[in-house]
């Protein structure tokens, strides 16, 4: 039963155009072709990236952060309060107004004190600026290396200049060693990002990032299996072209280098729009979606590959909107670019009121959940 099911899933007519099949990818006459078992190599590569990342962040990213002046302002910690802590951990980090009033009555604290406690408690859980810098510097280093490595792999290939040649002799194009390593390293890196997503800084587009990583891993893996490697290398280099600029802009943002950040981010926005909204859809996707139909009748593998391409393109449009919103914000002269995806730290109107909080918790200066009016009534909150 399992053998029959496997034969049906991997049938030639599903993954290849008529007249072609898996037999075309068997090594012969000294020519090597991609194989399914090759993908297992990406697992140790992904684990290796996780180890290298830890070493890199400690030995390179942290000293670099110090050199660039990355520093975190000291956060005021929320005072110990079992009732509020229990609600924060089990119910919600953002209580409703009615919940705040209920907690105020339970704890004997004013409504504003409860609000302040939750604000400080949320800030405690937010990642530090140094952690964000370490992550950005790691991704910057990889994307920069990957982009120039991709250029070295593709610069002398004819399909880099005439994309229609990616289908020449398909699927019988032999594998080049540089393509093998380019694929394995890229796929290993995206697997490492997926494995570390639980511990990395979570942004507002967390779900979109997960979808992007999964779609990218499926796209790279599938293109390897059916020898869409020429198309795959072009797709990877188009993505890497802008990513290292974005990560470097973040690094200078965290360091407070405002003009440098704005300049690099503007450059990133231009490169992102050109590569993701022009070159990818109108050159590459056109060559993987429209042009093949002039050579072969459509088949399921064709629809699967291009379906993943369209998922990525939708995400690119989503991110392009966020990028343009950020560019518009600082064009009139704002000080610095703020990442729309970041979970921004909440500020306090008057930090010194923390002393008042502790004092009232000690002395019991509360009545029916509200502070008693006294000679300090002229203070504002």
Average pLDDT over residues 158-164: 92
In DSSP terms, 28 is beta-bridged to 31
Q: Does residue 164 sit within a domain?
A: yes
Q: Does residue 112 sit within a domain?
A: yes
* Rounded-to-integer distance, Cα 322 and Cα 256, Å: 21
Is the distance from CB of 259 to CB of 285 less than 8 angstroms?
Answer: no
* Rounded-to-integer distance, Cα 305 and Cα 85, Å: 48
Length of the chain: 381
Q: Is it the case that residue 254 has pLDDT exceeding 50?
A: yes
Q: Does residue 376 sit within a domain?
A: no
260 and 243 within one domain: yes
For the CA atoms of the chain, what is the radius of gyration?
27
pLDDT at 282: 94
153 and 275 within one domain: yes
42 and 121 within one domain: no
Q: Does residue 362 sit within a domain?
A: no
Strands (DSSP E) contained in the chain are: 366-367, 370-371
**pLDDT tens across 76-114, in order?**
777 888 888 888 788 888 888 888 888 888 888 888 888
Q: Is it the case that residue 307 has pLDDT exceeding 80?
A: yes
Average pLDDT over residues 131-142: 93
pLDDT at 235: 93
User: What secondary structure letter does DSSP report for 157?
Assistant: -
pLDDT at 287: 93
Model pTM score:
0.77
Average pLDDT over residues 350-376: 42
Average pLDDT over residues 121-131: 79
252 and 179 within one domain: yes
Q: Which band of pLDDT confidence, cut at 50, 70 and 90, is reported for residue 116?
A: confident
Average pLDDT over residues 24-31: 89
283 and 252 within one domain: yes
Is the distance from CB of 212 to CB of 317 less than 8 angstroms?
Answer: no
Average pLDDT over residues 353-370: 44
Q: Is it the case that residue 363 has pLDDT exceeding 50?
A: no
113 and 34 within one domain: no
Q: Which band of pLDDT confidence, cut at 50, 70 and 90, is reported for residue 355?
A: very low
**Alpha carbon separation from 207 to 198, 203, 217, 325 (Å, rounded):** 12, 9, 15, 20
pLDDT at 332: 54
Q: Does residue 110 sit within a domain?
A: yes
95 and 58 within one domain: no
pLDDT at 153: 92
Q: Is it the case that residue 215 has pLDDT exceeding 80?
A: yes
132 and 120 within one domain: no
250 and 111 within one domain: no
* Domain limit, last residue, from 308, 330, 352: 330
* Rounded-to-integer distance, Cα 233 and Cα 237, Å: 6
Q: Does residue 359 sit within a domain?
A: no
311 and 194 within one domain: yes
Q: Is it the case that residue 144 has pLDDT exceeding 90?
A: yes
Q: Does residue 344 sit within a domain?
A: no
**pLDDT tens across 38-88, in order?**
999 999 999 999 999 999 999 999 999 999 988 777 767 778 888 888 887
Q: Does residue 108 sit within a domain?
A: yes
Taking all residues of the chain, what is their mean pLDDT, rounded to a whole number? 83
Is the distance from CB of 116 to CB of 73 less than 8 angstroms?
Answer: no
pLDDT at 362: 46
94 and 60 within one domain: no
Helix (H, G, I), strand (E, B) or coil at 247: helix
* Domain limit, last residue, from 309, 330, 351: 330
pLDDT at 367: 40
Which residue range forms the structural domain that includes residue 209? 29-66+128-330
pLDDT at 190: 92
Is the distance from CB of 118 to CB of 84 less than 8 angstroms?
Answer: yes
Instruction: Choose the most confident range, by mean pLDDT, from 83-92, 273-282, 341-350, 362-371.
Output: 273-282
Q: Find, among 70, 130, 78, the residue nearest to 107 by Cα.
A: 78
> Domain of 105: which CATH number?
1.10.10.60
**Alpha carbon separation from 214 to 172, 220, 354 (Å, rounded):** 28, 10, 45
* Rounded-to-integer distance, Cα 33 and Cα 16, Å: 15
**Structural domains in the chain (count):** 2
Q: Is it the case that residue 286 has pLDDT exceeding 50?
A: yes
């Amino acid at each position: 039963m399992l053998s029959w099911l496997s034969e049906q899933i991997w049938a030639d007519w599903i993954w290849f155009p008529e007249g072609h099949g898996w037999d075309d990818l068997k090594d012969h006459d000294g020519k090597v072709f991609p194989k399914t078992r090759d993908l297992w190599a990406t697992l140790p590569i992904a684990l290796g990236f996780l180890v290298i990342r830890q070493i890199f962040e400690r030995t390179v990213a942290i000293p670099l952060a110090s050199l660039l002046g990355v520093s975190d302002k000291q956060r005021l910690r929320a005072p110990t309060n079992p009732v509020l802590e229990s609600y924060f951990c089990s119910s919600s980090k953002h209580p409703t107004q009615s919940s705040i009033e209920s907690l105020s009555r339970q704890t004997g604290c004013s409504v504003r004190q409860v609000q302040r406690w939750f604000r400080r408690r949320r800030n405690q859980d937010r990642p530090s600026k140094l952690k964000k810098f370490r992550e950005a510097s790691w991704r910057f280093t990889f994307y920069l290396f990957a982009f120039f490595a991709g250029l070295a792999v593709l610069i002398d290939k004819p399909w880099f200049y005439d994309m229609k040649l990616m289908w020449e002799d398909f699927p019988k194009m032999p594998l080049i060693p540089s393509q093998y390593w380019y694929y394995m390293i890229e796929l290993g890196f995206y697997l490492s990002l997926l494995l570390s997503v639980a511990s990395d800084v979570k942004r507002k587009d967390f779900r979109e990032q997960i979808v992007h990583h999964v779609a990218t891993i499926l796209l790279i893996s599938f293109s390897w299996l059916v020898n869409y490697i020429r198309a795959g290398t072009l797709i990877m280099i188009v993505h890497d072209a802008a990513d290292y600029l974005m990560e470097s802009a973040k690094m200078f943002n965290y360091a407070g280098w405002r003009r440098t950040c704005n300049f690099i981010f503007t450059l990133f926005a231009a490169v992102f729009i050109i590569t993701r909204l022009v070159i990818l859809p109108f050159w590459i996707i056109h060559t993987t979606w429209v042009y093949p139909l002039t050579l072969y009748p459509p088949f399921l593998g064709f629809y699967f590959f291009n379906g993943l391409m369209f998922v990525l393109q939708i995400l690119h449009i989503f991110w392009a909107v966020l990028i343009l919103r950020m560019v518009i914000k600082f064009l009139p002269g704002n000080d610095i670019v703020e990442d729309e995806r970041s979970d921004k730290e909440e500020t306090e109107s008057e930090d010194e009121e923390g002393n008042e909080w502790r004092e009232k918790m000690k002395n019991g200066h509360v009545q029916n959940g509200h502070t008693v009016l006294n000679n300090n009534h002229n203070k504002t909150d």
